[in-house]
């Protein structure tokens, strides 16, 4: 029999007068119904626009250490407010072999349709990286045309005498 998956639940509320109880209750039940072992609930009270949130940072660190097999969230917007961050995190999960599930939105990378969504997000991320590379190259070419010297400055500028001696 296969070893049960280790599940990490991430919940977030935006203000201190809100609580995560509804999310936690539903997600615990979801994990239990799937036969997963709940490793930890990562809970933040913070704006979703903040890139650095203590519990989210801990979740990502535990994923990098492969302490989890699946990350379960209530909705995408509880996990990430920007598409860029979402795509980046999903790509990181894919690289380390962690499944991602948004319970209320039906995105589940443990099944084929969820894997398709994962692949689409990966394609978006790859496209975005290609656009960035293209813009950087164009900027470097323009800087060269404008006569700018690229690269790190030399540690020491050699005198004519030193150049002659080296030759």
The secondary structure element, H or E, covering residue 73 is: strand 70-73
The backbone region for 9, taken as left when phi is positive above 0, alpha when psi lies in -120 to 50, beta otherwise, is beta
Which residue bears the tokens 């164009």? 138
User: Side by side, which strands form the sheet with 70-73?
Assistant: 37-45, 6-13, 70-73, 99-102, 107-108
Beta-sheet pairing, 99-102 with 107-108: antiparallel
Do 35 and 2 meet the contact criterion of CB atoms below 8 Å apart? Answer: no
* Residues facing residue 101 across a β-bridge: 72, 108
Q: Is 16 a catalytic residue?
A: no
From the list 14, 82, 102, 159, the catalytic residue is 14
Q: Which residues are catalytic?
A: 14
């Amino acid at each position: 029999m296969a070893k049960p998956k280790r599940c990490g639940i991430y919940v977030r509320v935006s203000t201190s007068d809100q609580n995560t109880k509804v999310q936690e209750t539903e997600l615990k039940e979801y994990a239990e119904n799937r036969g997963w072992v709940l490793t930890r609930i990562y809970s933040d009270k913070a704006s979703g626009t903040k890139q650095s949130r203590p519990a989210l940072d801990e979740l990502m660190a535990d994923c990098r250490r492969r302490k989890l097999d699946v990350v379960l969230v209530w909705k995408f917007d509880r996990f990430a407010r920007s598409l860029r961050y979402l795509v980046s995190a999903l790509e990181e999960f894919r690289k380390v072999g962690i499944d991602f599930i948004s319970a209320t939105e039906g995105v589940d990378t443990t099944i084929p349709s969820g894997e398709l969504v994962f692949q689409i997000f990966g394609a978006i991320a790859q496209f975005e990286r290609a656009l960035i590379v293209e813009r950087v190259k164009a900027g470097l070419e323009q800087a060269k045309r404008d006569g700018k010297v690229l690269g790190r400055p030399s540690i020491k500028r050699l005198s004519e005498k030193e150049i002659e001696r080296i030759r």
